[in-house]
Structure 1
């Protein structure tokens, strides 16, 4: 990594905002094309992986999918799942490999168009005039917390999923985890395995099998070309970008996360958290619906694998649908907070994008940028690293390289046209 000297009001052909895997991947391809650029990172490069993951965190995708540009996984366990320290080591190697021109500790406060063309990038340490800009700061910025959190007793410790580290770091007592997406389900599992009493407010997240018919489900889906499907070919089209990720885990070599099984072991499952009043938490009576919908997705994915195996004439162990191991006796809509012994609530209900600093008319009513594979209607402005920017892997180690290379080609064409016109 090359630390760039900062010259206020300097000119740069391309400014990349964000020093995560997306921004560094973009730098890799611009360097290969000899295009002048700088990466601006308000913290330190890849800080999210270091500072916003719990101690027992591991990848939920197999190691072979770690395919950052020019730096594929080289270890001896391609079908394993890297733990947090291994992920950081992998990223450290990638950082050295790219040697990007990075300016750390520089926050971008505004991006706007310049009357004479190009963009003005204002930062905490001066301004840049840029011909083109790549926003690679991700799409998970502001944690979602319901307003009811303001009314909870001051004695309740409230923690965001990004700030959770371990069961031992929390106060004694039971823990309520709100949300059952990837983070919520895995954090609930981490607490459960540590012997904590866990209450889980289940949401609408789907789930999938870890292994099915003798292989990791990811391997089957790769063979089925699911990870090559562009967003415009997906049945949901752009709506897939709003989908919650399926919950599954790579922990201890990988396994399903079965909330019903957790319930048989003492985890308390409720529907979605809706309110807090008179000392009681209120829940929607939708636990059965949420569990059934998650299982339906699980079985639907497995059925698609069954169909593929049959069509291809592949020999594989016999499969079959998941059969529930537990059913709620009834929907519980209220919980006495004091009587429950809950001392901590962990909010795991997602994040909202915050691109308020991008002062350009490219956003829809939900604050999400309009684009086609990262190319916005504003010529020379691009987004990279967002979920389903182009394919399932766009925001992940597996697919960000393909998107970055694509944008680098477009950036190069514009740079060449600008040079001819100058």
Structure 2
């Protein structure tokens, strides 16, 4: 425990990625004193935990905050990772966000006998009335305990992947067929390597349809407002990409480019990796999701009399490639020349520093739209935090506004009897 007198602030925001920057803007709008602590730089994960060619999953007109446009990009362009990091830094400067970089939060504990929290940081203690965990969902790379480290294979998580030259010579197995896995597999194949892509359950929206990006369709069809799935419901990854100007992810086209599709990786023994016999079912479910959205879009156009060009070719599903007709259930990695595995298998959360009663038995936050079960604690940047749109940049901004409004209301209640401050 530090012996220094704690610094005091009303709201401590932990993390200065897109969530922390948005939270600071809304707290400032309410006139709430606050401090944002970031262990690295603003938007550090965009800078140092993404591959070199990554671009946003949504176009520039959509994937931004309301208060600042991309002045160097056309609306339908897709911002690269470094451009996004610069955007959030510029946004923080525009709103004079009180961000302190290079400071790691070590622990947060509720005070005893008085309101608020005591926070230990790498730069000294801080006392705060409220704490916002704005560290997002990408905290702990998740790699299944499937292939032992002593296998001799190079194994990295997608968050550590940068470019094809980073990997040793040889072919690659990419596990995970969401946005990250499909883009990395495609890049590796374009670099001249043979690639095996393990495809699990997924959603597969069209990148665009009838002249409108899928983000627009999700908006007008009111799908961004889809409610958070019930606790325990399985997460289904979404295969969508802004790479190469934005194209629909089509696993049959990936196979035609030379990528070999396989089912979910299920076991490993003596240099042989086995796959579940679920490839055809996973692809079929993704196709159904894709065609369903086209049908909804067509119906919306007809109902509203919109003059948007027809796109009959979008409804054509290519023939099944051989790897789909005759799926590979076992792969001898050495014989196939596979020397590397890229695990695009998502992330787990790590809130070990937040030592309060706000988590379930699996360590996941207990909250309603980011308002924790522990009074005074808030979460921001979580997938499906309040709606489907929470996972996107603009969705984080709206979730931050909800939390800032909640904090302002709580401050009003606490001021009762001590101030005549107006209701906010």
**What TM-score, normalized by structure 2, do the two folds share?**
0.91
Deviation sequence 1:120-143 (CA, Å, 0-9, x none): 222233322111111101022111
Distance 1:151 1:282 in 2: 17
Q: Which residue of 1 aligns with 2:422?
A: none
Moved more, 314-323 or 209-218: 314-323
Q: How does 1:197-236 map to 2 (within 5 A)?
A: 197-227=194-224, 229=225, 231=227, 236=229
Going from structure 1 to structure 2, the CA distance change for 1:386 and 1:74 (only over 3 Å counts) comes to: same
Question: Contact 1:62 / 1:80 at 8 angstroms: preserved in 2?
Answer: yes
Distance 2:187 2:252 in 1: 16
Quick one: which of 361, 365, 368 aligns to 1:369? 365
Q: Which residue of 2 aligns with 1:403?
A: 399
Q: Which residue of 2 aligns with 1:164?
A: 161
Question: Contact 1:138 / 1:385 at 8 angstroms: preserved in 2?
Answer: yes
Q: Counterpart of 2:174 in 1: which secondary structure?
A: strand
Corresponding position: 1:309 with 2:304: no
Distance 2:218 2:325 in 1: 36
Q: Which residue of 1 aligns with 2:151?
A: 153
Question: Contact 2:17 / 2:88 at 8 angstroms: preserved in 1?
Answer: no
Deviation sequence 1:173-196 (CA, Å, 0-9, x none): 101101111111111111122222
Going from structure 1 to structure 2, the CA distance change for 1:291 and 1:172 (only over 3 Å counts) comes to: same
Distance 1:76 1:340 in 2: 42
Deviation sequence 1:363-419 (CA, Å, 0-9, x none): 223322122221122222111111121123323221222221222122122224334
After TM superposition, give the deviation of residue 420 of structure 1 in Å.
4.3
Quick one: which of 374, 388, 392 aligns to 2:388? 392
Q: Which residue of 2 aligns with 1:356?
A: 352
Quick one: which of 24, 28, 32 aligns to 2:25? 28
Deviation sequence 1:16-56 (CA, Å, 0-9, x none): 01111111111112222222111111222110110111111
Q: Which residue of 1 aligns with 2:290?
A: 298
Q: How does 1:146-295 map to 2 (within 5 A)?
A: 146-150=144-148, 152-154=150-152, 156-227=153-224, 229=225, 231=227, 236-237=229-230, 243-295=235-287
Moved more, 394-403 or 265-274: 394-403
Q: Counterpart of 1:68 in 2: which secondary structure?
A: coil
RMSD: 2.0
Q: Counterpart of 1:260 in 2: which secondary structure?
A: helix
Unmatched tracts of structure 2, length 5 or more: 419-424
Unmatched tracts of structure 1, length 5 or more: 1-6
Going from structure 1 to structure 2, the CA distance change for 1:297 and 1:152 (only over 3 Å counts) comes to: farther
Q: Counterpart of 1:281 in 2: which secondary structure?
A: strand
Question: Contact 2:62 / 2:215 at 8 angstroms: preserved in 1?
Answer: no
Aligned residues: 410
After TM superposition, give the deviation of residue 237 of structure 1 in Å.
4.8
Distance 2:77 2:352 in 1: 39
Deviation sequence 1:142-173 (CA, Å, 0-9, x none): 1111222225522x111110111111222111
Q: Which residue of 2 aligns with 1:4?
A: none
